[in-house]
A = this chain, B = another copy of it.
């Protein structure tokens, strides 16, 4: 029996409702295995701005640090999106959380579920069997470099990477590849960018420590095609922050729905687990949000806590929901189930 503190950061839009289902499933896991998960809920994003003026209140950050793991919903609200130059924005909470908690690696597995092949915009034979994982650097690069305006009205963003920033995530990606199909692809733009050339150098230096792993190098423009043309060629993809943002959202089309894709952000300290979908404000409160990405994020959280049997059981329960079409409207338009029902069905199978 284990006791674990889990900080919940439901956030905005559909964040709270999908988190609720993940909690339901974690509660079922706790009951079945005799564990205790202690949940506390904290503000982040637009709701935190509305309540406190700060998208990431100190209280929230302290709660994350005091927890064994964080379950995150989603952030973002149209009232801030439509004003990108607003001084305080929900995204700042997310970016600051990543930086403060040292979440330098965002890990996104992408699987083509058999039951969902018909929902993908890609032809089934191209994607069936896809099983890749993207390691996106999350606390460096152009996201966190200097940015501003110059006297002449022009704008700038600076992209920087140190060797250490590249090394730590490269080791994680190599370790992951070693335990999977032993194939790592670095995605960069080394024919143009100096930072990309440094990424290649560092990865080349590290590669000999993982002799069983084959390393490929792909320019990001080519990678953006290859992921669609032949996603099965990939095992582990390693890339920098901005390219990872683009490539990992692009790769989500393979699964047929964003509503299926979990992610983990890890660092030195505590780790954060979140569905890759956004706050989807149009769906808020309608019971149509797919909770499976949040539930699969909870499975990644269990793996992280070394509760692997428990994690496997959650994934099996999700497979049951997929096989039996107990799915929200975007995946089952003719006989849809609600967010709540899908969560309960998965919990029931635990």
Contact = CB atoms under 8 A, between A and B. Distances in A.
A221 interface: yes
Interface stretch (A7-15, A29-37, A140-148, A338-346): A140-148
A228 B152 contact: no
A99 to B, nearest CB: 13
A143 B325 CA distance: 47
Interface string A143-186: 10101110011111111111100000000000000000000000
Given A160-B156, A252-B225, A192 B143 contact: yes
Given A122-B123, A153-B163, A159-B156, A193 B142 contact: yes
A337 B12 CA distance: 57
A85 interface: yes
Given A159-B159, A228-B121, A222 B249 contact: yes
A211 interface: no
A126 interface: yes
A106 B131 CA distance: 35
A188 B214 CA distance: 34
Contacts of A61: none
Interface string A272-308: 0000000000000000000000000000000000000
